[in-house]
Structure 1
Amino acid sequence: MTSSTPLRPGDVAPDVELLDTHGTPLRLTGLRGGAVAVVFFPFAFSGTCTQELCELRDNLEDFEQARVRLLAVSCDPVHTLRAWSEQQGFTFDLLSDFWPHGEAASAFGVFDGDRGLARRGSFLVDADGIVRWSVVNPPGRARELGAYRAALAGLA
């Protein structure tokens, strides 16, 4: 069963808690007061996901200059995300939505229950917890860096 409709601009971001690559819980509402980009991706170590997240890694200064914290989320287990992060040199947060499986992706409306993965959804959430921009791409289609840049510029 595929998830419901993805969150849209104007929606309140859900209060989800996920584990980082060291098993430390991170609660989205605990980050209020600062903007965050929540980037869901299907699987660590896969081709399109690696391409997308490496592009974000290589352009992290765009997020830093806009004072937006980048959070990348998949249904992979913590240990898988840690190994991938170390291999790729990611310096932003990778968060595990492994258990309860897909709970955060479901809350954002991007969980594909038939396949057990998060669809390619990105959400820019402002300091008050309101979604200001979102995009969801079909399987295999990477998100455009230019779209992130335009969204970051619009947040200012």
Structure 2
Amino acid sequence: MAVEVGDKAPDFELKDQHGTPVRMADLRGRRVVLIFYPLAFSGICHGELCAIRDEFAASAPKDVQVLTVSVDSVFTHRAWADQEGFTFPLLSDFWPHGEVAQTYGVFDEERGLALRGTFVIDAEGVVRWKAVNPIPSARDISEYHKVLEEIS
């Protein structure tokens, strides 16, 4: 069952690249851009997360939290974040494998990884915008600023 615009964003707790637990419910009062991606160190994912680092996260309003999620381990995320200078949380949906991606309706059962799903969640925890791209199709990061302006 997929999460749709207007739904309350399902709560979850995952560890970031430093092993620190991040819980969605703890982010109430902030807007969240929740970004699912297939795999660290892969070509399109690399380009997308670098664009998030360079074109979005640095210029996002102060009340916006970027969270990225993949089925990679905490250790893989740490190596990738250190290599690329990613300072936003890279959350590990490693075990139970893909559980959060499944909850949000962006898990590819056949391949065992997340689709390119993005959810913009308002300060009350309601999904206000959603886009899901197939695995080989990169996202348009510029859309995030437009959506956030609409829900400010």
Into which bin does the TM-score normalised by the smaller protein fall? Answer: over 0.9
Return the letter of the residue paired with 1:61. A
CA displacement 1:110-138 (0-9 Å, x = unmatched)? 01111110100000111111001110001
Report if the CA contact (8 A) 1:125-1:131 is conserved: yes
Return the letter of the residue paired with 1:107. T
Report if the CA contact (8 A) 1:66-1:153 is conserved: no
Instruction: Tell me how far apart the structure 1 counterparts of residues 18 and 47 of structure 2 sit (CA, whole Å).
Output: 23
Report SS of the residue matched to 1:128: coil
> Unaligned stretches of 5+ in structure 1?
none
- The answer to whether structure 1 residue 141 and structure 2 residue 121 are counterparts is no
Report SS of the residue matched to 2:129: strand
The answer to which of 53-62 and 119-128 deviates more is: 53-62
Q: Which residue of the other structure, out of 12, 20, 32, is the alignment partner of 1:24?
A: 20
Q: RMSD across aligned C-alpha pairs, in angstroms? A: 1.1
Instruction: Tell me how far apart the structure 1 counterparts of residues 68 and 10 of structure 2 sit (CA, whole Å).
Output: 16
Report if the CA contact (8 A) 1:66-1:152 is conserved: no
Superposed displacement of residue 56, structure 1 = 0.5
Q: Which residue of the other structure, out of 87, 92, 97, is the alignment partner of 2:88?
A: 92
Aligned to 1:106: 102
Residue-pair matches, total: 151
Superposed displacement of residue 61, structure 1 = 2.6
Aligned to 1:62: 59
Superposed displacement of residue 67, structure 1 = 2.0
Instruction: Tell me how far apart the structure 2 counterparts of residues 149 and 33 of structure 1 sit (CA, whole Å).
Output: 18
Return the letter of the residue paired with 2:127. V
Q: Identical aligned pairs, as a percentage?
A: 52
